Amino acid sequence: MGAEFIDALRCVDLDVRTNEYLAIMGQSGSGKSTLMNIIGCLERPTAGEYWLNDERVSDMSDRALAHVRNQAIGFVFQTFNLLPRMTALANVEVPLIYSGMKRRERMEQSQLALETVGLGDRMQHRPSELSGGQRQRVAIARALVTEPSILLADEPTGNLDSSTGREIMGLFERLHADGNTLIVVTHEQSIADHANRVVRLSDGDIVSDTEQ
Amino acid sequence: MLILETIRISLASIRSNLFRALLTMLGIIIGVAAVITMVALGTGAQRAIDEQMAALGGDILSIQSSSWFSHGIARNQATITTDDAMALATGSEHLSAVVPEITSRFQVKYGNKNLNLTTVGTTPNYPAVHGFEIAYGVKSSAADEAARRRVVVLGAEIPGMFDADAAALIGRTVQIRAISFQVIGVFAPKGGSGWRNPDTYIWIPLSTAQFRVTGNEYVSTISAKVADTSTVSMAMLEIERVLRREHGILPGKDNDFAIMNRKQFAESRQQATEVFTYLLAGIAGVSLVVGGIGIMNIMLVTVTERTREIGVRKALGATKGNILLQFLVESTILCVLGGLLGLALGAGAAALLAKYAGWQTVVTTQSAMIAFGCSAAIGLIFGIWPARRAAQLDPIDALRHE
């Protein structure tokens, strides 16, 4: 008895440069979630190395990984994952709390991030009082607020209707133009079309890596 | 800095589920309230005994007739006489005063009021030995004793029982067993000792009691004051020797009297009360532990409910320590709030018991601090397991949790 170990990823060799807009595509079971979790420092590869900003994060301690997630990664989830009892502003402040920033500075920076995503007038609203698109914008503001090295989005439009999805993709393009590095994990071609580079995964291997 | 944030987050989470938080706290509230009330009762009882002991004085020995067995039948016969008192007064080195007392209950009449009162016939040194102060009029004198005068000194509460003013009673006549007595004085309040309240007694000269009221030479009690408190046991031996000789008790036969050190008696009662207090506090403490388990239970539920939140927080950079602290702070806040409410409830219950049941209760800062500290400690101890579970959650699993 016990867990069966499956090699979710095999020989993945991936180089992501600053200010790249990368889409990772693949069917479910292709290993894209595992790759995303490794890039997002939520789990460590069982073998191989992962370097981020000249640091080998693949063998860091849990504590150090938490710090890397806090400083260098901005997560955007399919289901937004906002904390329901807190206002938009308080949600955006969460990562800054863990980085130990002072309250006043934290508020200013969070307000700025919400303004960047076009929600300057919704700061005191709770997630339940916001539309799906607005919730995803709050989540993007939360991901941006620490000025991370990578903005990592997992099916960011999966829970949105197509017009709201286009809005969000437009926001991503603007963020890319502002100099951010974006990695979007998706199985939709229309979403991947926004990226400059598309990596396709199948059965744990990269089957294509194309710039467009 | 982070701890302040953590407290803020915890308060917000408690506020968002206030009713559940209150129910969770209920166990702690009741536990702390029970501890506070029980300890207040115990401390109150102990203080009552302390006051009683101070009133008794440790240097007073009581000598009373003891029951003895004759052909297997218990006989309760008066054996102590005024002669015994005389023998003790003259023949002992360790006693500084000997006070014979005849105590009985008589009908006492003043005006149209008729009361059944404890009447003590005793010698003029009684007030000094038992610590009574005269408030109005005078004490009875040796001359009253010698002349068997029909004079009476009243306890502090007697004038009130007769609906009369204490000062105005001096010189008036009361009827004791239909014999007229002149009131010569009223004592200052002395306070009750246990179930007896000497403020409701009246005192007449010993000789008057013997020859005009009871008509025999037996006394109920001889109180003996020990000259030096360090020689109490010596004094007790001496009394025994003198009385055995007086009563002609042969070697090997039992005493027909008993010598009691009232302070010893009170001390044993004090110890019993102390044990009782610990027992009550222990039982109350069990409810505190049960309350703690309630906290743990709800915290475990909370962790499960908020698995996704934990995953999000971890993804956003919370370390295990951050998550651990957050849940520990939350359970501690619950317990501390519960402790404060319990403290108020317990103090209120103690005050109500004092007011309506007439029990002396004392809420000490010490017991409050201990109960408060205990509830905080329970919050920490019973919060550790749920908080550890939260901290150990794998962020990926937690994020997937529905």
- Structural domain contains residue A205: yes
| Residue A62 with chain B: CB contacts under 8 Å | 319-320
Model-level ipTM above the cut of 0.90: yes
Contacts of A157 (CB under 8 A, 6+ apart): A136, A164, A165, A168, A169, A186, A188, A191
What residues form DSSP beta bridges with B185?
A: B137, B153
Report chain A residues touching chain B, CB-CB < 8 A: 37, 40, 42-43, 62-63, 66-67, 69-71, 75, 77, 81, 83, 85-86, 94-95, 97-100, 102, 142, 146
The per-residue pLDDT for B192 is 61
* Residue from the list B12, B308, B395 with its beta carbon closest to the beta carbon of A85: B12
The per-residue pLDDT for A3 is 61
Please give the Cα distance from B152 to B180 (Å, whole number): 10
Query: What's the one-letter identity of residue A57?
Result: V
- Structural domain contains residue B141: yes
**pLDDT above 90 coverage of chain A, percent:** 48
- A83/B312 Cβ within 8 A: yes
* Residue B245 and residue B310 in one domain: no
**pLDDT tens figures, A178-199:** 999 999 999 889 889 999 999 9
Instruction: Please choose, from the candidates A70, A192, A84, A87, the residue with its C-alpha nearest in 3D space to the C-alpha of residue A143.
Output: A70
- Structural domain contains residue A124: yes
- B316/A75 Cβ within 8 A: yes
Contacts of B67 (CB under 8 A, 6+ apart): B74, B75, B76, B77
**pLDDT above 70 coverage of chain A, percent:** 98
- The helix (H) or strand (E) run that includes residue A66 is helix A62-72
Distance from CA of A146 to the nearest CA of B (A): 10
Distance from CA of B15 to the nearest CA of A (A): 10
Nearest CA in chain B to A87: B12
User: Which of A32, A42, A151 should be substituted to probe chain B, the one whose Cβ sees the most B Cβ atoms within 10 Å?
Assistant: A42
- Give the distance between the most distant pair of CA atoms in chain A: 55
Final residue belonging to a domain, choices B209, B229, B255: B255
The per-residue pLDDT for A135 is 93
Please give the Cα distance from A8 to A202 (Å, whole number): 10
A110: its two tokens: 């969070």
The per-residue pLDDT for B10 is 87
* Residue B291 and residue B392 in one domain: yes
Please give the Cα distance from B28 to B376 (Å, whole number): 10
The per-residue pLDDT for B81 is 85
- A62/B312 Cβ within 8 A: no
Please give the Cα distance from B378 to B372 (Å, whole number): 10
The per-residue pLDDT for B70 is 60
Task: Tally A–B CB contacts below 8 A.
Answer: 62
Helix (H, G, I), strand (E, B) or coil at B181: strand
Instruction: Please choose, from the candidates A107, A117, A108, the residue with its C-alpha nearest in 3D space to the C-alpha of residue A76.
Output: A117
A94: domain range? 21-211
Tally of structural domains, chain A = 1
Give me the tens of pLDDT residue by residue for chain B, a chain 402 residues long: 578 888 888 888 888 888 988 988 898 899 899 888 888 888 888 887 777 666 666 678 888 887 655 666 666 667 788 888 888 888 888 888 899 998 888 899 998 889 999 999 999 988 888 888 899 999 889 899 889 999 999 999 899 888 888 888 899 999 998 899 999 999 998 776 555 788 889 999 998 988 888 777 788 888 888 888 778 888 888 888 888 888 888 888 888 888 888 777 777 777 888 888 888 888 888 888 888 888 888 889 888 888 999 999 999 999 999 999 999 999 999 899 999 999 999 999 999 988 888 788 888 888 888 888 888 888 889 889 999 999 999 888 888 887
Please give the Cα distance from B157 to A196 (Å, whole number): 103
CA torsion, ordered B135, B137, B140, B144, to nearest 10 deg = 180
Please give the Cα distance from B103 to B220 (Å, whole number): 6
pLDDT band for position A153 (cuts 50, 70, 90)? very high
- Structural domain contains residue A13: no
Final residue belonging to a domain, choices B212, B228, B255: B255
* Residue B106 and residue B230 in one domain: yes
Distance from CA of B379 to the nearest CA of A (A): 24
Angle, vertex CA A97, rays to CA A96 and CA A99, nearest 5: 60
- Structural domain contains residue A2: no
* Residue B347 and residue B242 in one domain: no
- Structural domain contains residue B286: yes
* Residue from the list B12, B319, B396 with its beta carbon closest to the beta carbon of A63: B319
* Residue B281 and residue B232 in one domain: no
CATH number at residue A64: 3.40.50.300
Please give the Cα distance from B364 to B383 (Å, whole number): 28
Final residue belonging to a domain, choices B255, B289, B310: B255
- Structural domain contains residue B60: no
The per-residue pLDDT for B356 is 86
Higher pLDDT, A5 or B325: B325
The per-residue pLDDT for B182 is 93
The per-residue pLDDT for A1 is 46
- A43/B322 Cβ within 8 A: no
The per-residue pLDDT for B76 is 60
| Residue A100 with chain B: CB contacts under 8 Å | 1-2
- Structural domain contains residue A76: yes
Please give the Cα distance from A94 to B312 (Å, whole number): 10
**Cβ–Cβ under 8 Å, residues A124 and A87:** yes
The per-residue pLDDT for B69 is 58
- Structural domain contains residue B219: yes
The per-residue pLDDT for A67 is 92
Tally of structural domains, chain B = 2
- B314/A70 Cβ within 8 A: no
B130: domain range? 78-255
| Residue B322 with chain A: CB contacts under 8 Å | 66, 98
| Residue A93 with chain B: CB contacts under 8 Å | none
The per-residue pLDDT for A176 is 92
- B309/A83 Cβ within 8 A: yes
- Structural domain contains residue A65: yes
- A70/B316 Cβ within 8 A: yes
Distance from CA of B42 to the nearest CA of A (A): 46
Burial B316-347 (b: 16+ CB within 10 A, else e): bbbbbebbbbbbbbbbbbbbbbbbbbbbebbb
- For chain B, helix, strand, coil in percent to 5 are 60, 20, 20
- Structural domain contains residue A7: no
The phi, psi pair for B171, rounded to 5°, reads 90, -10
The per-residue pLDDT for A12 is 84
**What count of Cα atoms within 13 Å lies in the side-chain half-sphere of residue A77?**
16
How large is the average pLDDT for residues A90-106?
91
A132-144 and A103-116 helices cross at what angle (nearest 10)?
Answer: 130
**Cβ–Cβ under 8 Å, residues B12 and A86:** yes
* Residue B304 and residue B354 in one domain: yes
A155: its two tokens: 């099916």
